[in-house]
Amino acid sequence: MGLTNAKTMNHRLLILDDDEGILEAYAAILSPKTNAPVVRSSRASARTQAAAAPVLHPVQYEVTYTKTGLEAISAIEQAYAAGLPYAGGFFDVKLGGELDGIDTIRRIKDIDPDLLCVLVTAYQDRSIEDITNVFGATFSDRWDFLNKPFTKAEILQKANNLTANWDRRRREKEYIEKIKAQQEQLIRAERLAAVGTMARGIGHEFGNILLSIMGHADLALQSKDPSQMEEALKLVGKSSERAAIIIRNLQSMVKTEPKREKVDLVLPIKEALELVGHEIKKHAIKVTEHYAPNLPKTVVNRVEMGQVFLNLIINAIHAIGNKGGEIRITADADERNIRIMVADSGSGIAEENITKIFEPLFTTKGNKGSGIGLSVSRKIIENHGGHISVRSEVGKGTVFLVQIPVA
């Protein structure tokens, strides 16, 4: 992403100080067009008053001046709600009202999660460690410190840092959001590719189901034996249920909702097996399943986890090919993780390719593979705080191990 044009940068600042003379000093530095006269006060030192002399600089800041913590909070709330947030603010620590500068920042840091702050004080009664403890570690990169009396150069430097850092953080956030959107598109595309891989087998499966329904329905119509008619209609019902399961699982695979919920991971495994049932039969593959009793549930996106298991099972089918073989699926858990193993007796993966199989666009399947299935699967697993590993031996088979944290 390119740099944001200077015209679109956020130059909105807020000042909180209960001394009129110091506010005038800020105004002369940050809002020089006002040519505001310097108001000398007991709290505005000679150094600060000297800083109030009009100064010319290329940046025109939009500055709001407040005298109490409540005024500052109200201004920040209104600006954030209007979609015109402040980039940052200068907050005097010692205020005469019910809220001092630190109390004010404690309240506003959750109102506007992007606001950057400079604490300004003539006193040394609060250490950096104390202030960090008050604000919390997550706020540590959002505040700075400035001693009074200040100079023009110090204020201009801090103001420039506030606005530049705010815009940098905004660009970083936009970039991250863009990357996330691209990842979601890739996951969606890979999911549709997996559905396309299954389409021929599902079509064949539906053909068999329809033949079964038609045959048993015709038998029921022709039979005069009530028990035979009842049995035929039961078989029609079972075939219809089988078709409904396939449709439901297929619909589940193409959903895009990012919802996470507590899930028994055995369910998406079985749904994936249902979807490739015809391919398993066609390749004369034996599937062995073993799931530990009382397997804990975990919070995941069920559709995405189904996509992971579907990819692993399809890979196992392709590895076995037409020679027949076995796919073993197991699931167990320890205190931290649920472990799902998908093992096959296929051709295995060459040692030089093991480290590459999770790379985008890498495939050993030629025209059969897109090269994104395992890459997307790893991204999904990592987004759930999990881990996927593989071990393989050429001619003997491959084992994938998926670990997902227990809820």
CB 66 within 8 A of CB 75: yes
Is residue 161 a part of any domain in this protein? no
The number of angstroms, rounded, from the C-alpha of 387 to the middle of its chain's C-alpha atoms is 16
Same structural domain, 362 and 238: yes
List, as own/partner pairs, every contact residues 231-238 make where C-beta atoms lie below 8 angstroms and the sequence separation is at least 24, other chains included: 236/212
Question: Measured between alpha carbons, how far apart are the two ends of the chain, in Å?
Answer: 37
Q: Which of 87, 91, 109 is nearest to 100 (CA)?
A: 91
Mean pLDDT of 341-350: 93
Residue 115 has pLDDT above 60, yes or no: yes
Is residue 68 a part of any domain in this protein? yes
pLDDT of residue 314: 87
Range of the domain at 190: 180-405
Residue 189 has pLDDT above 80, yes or no: no
Q: Which of 59, 49, 83, 75 is nearest to 11 (CA)?
A: 59
Residue 166 has pLDDT above 70, yes or no: yes
Query: Higher pLDDT residue, 51 or 237?
Result: 237
**What is the Cα gyration radius of the chain?**
33
Residue 41 has pLDDT above 60, yes or no: no
Same structural domain, 84 and 36: yes
Is residue 286 a part of any domain in this protein? yes
Is residue 184 a part of any domain in this protein? yes
Name the β-bridge partners of 15. Answer: 65, 90
d(CA 316, CA 186): 22
Same structural domain, 195 and 136: no
Q: Is 23 exposed, middle or buried (CB count within 10 Å of its CB: 0-12, 13-18, 19+)? A: buried
d(CA 244, CA 394): 39
For 344, the token pair is 């096959």
Is residue 157 a part of any domain in this protein? no
d(CA 100, CA 121): 11
Q: Which among 109, 134, 150 is the end of a domain?
A: 150
Q: Which of 17, 64, 65 is nearest to 44 (CA)?
A: 17
pLDDT of residue 370: 47
3-state secondary structure of 361: coil
d(CA 27, CA 12): 13
Mean pLDDT of 36-64: 55
The CATH number assigned to the domain holding 57 equals 3.40.50.2300
CB count, 10 Å around CB of 333? 18
Which one-letter DSSP state was computed for residue 54? -
Same structural domain, 315 and 190: yes
Same structural domain, 232 and 133: no
Q: Which among 103, 134, 150 is the end of a domain?
A: 150
Same structural domain, 388 and 250: yes
Q: Which among 112, 131, 150 is the end of a domain?
A: 150
Same structural domain, 60 and 194: no
Q: Which residues have C-beta within 8 Å of that of residue 226, sequence separation ≥ 6? A: none
For 340, the token pair is 């799902």
266-275 helix and 226-254 helix, angle to the nearest 10 degrees: 110
pLDDT of residue 366: 54
d(CA 211, CA 195): 23
Same structural domain, 191 and 107: no
Q: Which residues have C-beta within 8 Å of that of residue 128, sequence separation ≥ 6? A: 145
The number of angstroms, rounded, from the C-alpha of 312 to the middle of its chain's C-alpha atoms is 23
Q: Which of 365, 364, 368, 345 is nearest to 355 (CA)?
A: 364
Same structural domain, 266 and 324: yes
Mean pLDDT of 336-354: 92
The percentage of residues in the chain with a pLDDT greater than 90, rounded to a whole number, is 33
Give the burial string for 383-401 (b: 16+ CB within 10 Å, else e). Answer: ebebebebebeeeebbbbe
Domain count across the chain: 2
pLDDT of residue 17: 92
Same structural domain, 220 and 72: no
Whole-prediction pTM value? Answer: 0.49
Is residue 67 a part of any domain in this protein? yes
Strands 62-66 and 116-121: unpaired
d(CA 13, CA 165): 13
pLDDT of residue 275: 75
Is residue 1 a part of any domain in this protein? no
CB 307 within 8 A of CB 276: no
d(CA 126, CA 130): 6
d(CA 11, CA 308): 46
For 181, the token pair is 């959107």
**DSSP string across 5-30:** PGGGS--EEEEE-S-HHHHHHHHHHH
Same structural domain, 137 and 277: no
Is residue 391 a part of any domain in this protein? yes
pLDDT of residue 37: 39
pLDDT of residue 180: 76
Same structural domain, 133 and 246: no
Q: Picking from 26-40, 136-150, 276-290, 305-319, which range would have the lowest pLDDT averaged per residue?
A: 26-40
pLDDT of residue 407: 79
Q: Give the number of C-alpha atoms closer than 13 A to the C-alpha of residue 139, restricted to the C-beta side.
A: 23
The CATH number assigned to the domain holding 357 equals 3.30.565.10
